[in-house]
Amino acid sequence: MTDQPMSMGGQTGAGGDPEPVGWRGLVYGTPVLAADGSRVGTVREVLGSDEEDIFHGLRVGLAGARRDVMVEADDIDLLSDAGVRTTLGADAIRGLPDYDDEATFHLASVGWLRRHLGMGPVAWKRDSKGDEEAG
């Protein structure tokens, strides 16, 4: 496990980037790279709803640490069979809070409800009681 930039290899598409894959095609254990190309961990779980076709992000096992974090879909630049490239720096990824199954389940539930109720995106914030409310 290294913090040195690494090549993602694999099939290349336009511009020399690795050939992208859909979120459902991502394999567990795929390397996760920070924006500078340094390897920060591996994919432990793909977070999304197959039924609703909503990709939330990835559960990433950090290299050299015994903890996982969630990298949100908005922070992912490229999914490929050779690796995942994020828009975050290595320190930012290591600084993410520990992965929380309960919070991820809640995220999926809120997305499902919003889609079926026809509601557009809303910024959510955590209140003092620990549940979310529109903010």
Identify the segments of the chain with pLDDT beneath 50.
1-2, 4-6, 11-12, 108-116, 119-135
**Domain of residue 62, CATH code:** 3.90.50.10
Residue 112 domain-assigned (yes or no): no
Whether residue 70 lies inside any domain: the answer is yes
Q: Which helix (H) or strand (E) holds 43?
A: strand 39-49
User: Domain for residue 114, yes or no?
Assistant: no
For residue 6, being part of any structural domain is answered with no
- Its domain, for residue 32, covers 14-99
Spatial separation of the C-alpha atoms in residues 5 and 115, rounded to whole Å: 39
Residue position matching structure tokens 């394999």: 27
pTM over 0.85: no
Residue 117 lies in a domain: no
Confirm whether 109 is domain-assigned.
Answer: no
Q: Over the stretch 93-113, which tens digit does the pLDDT of each residue have?
A: 999 999 987 766 555 444 444
| Counted domains in the chain | 1
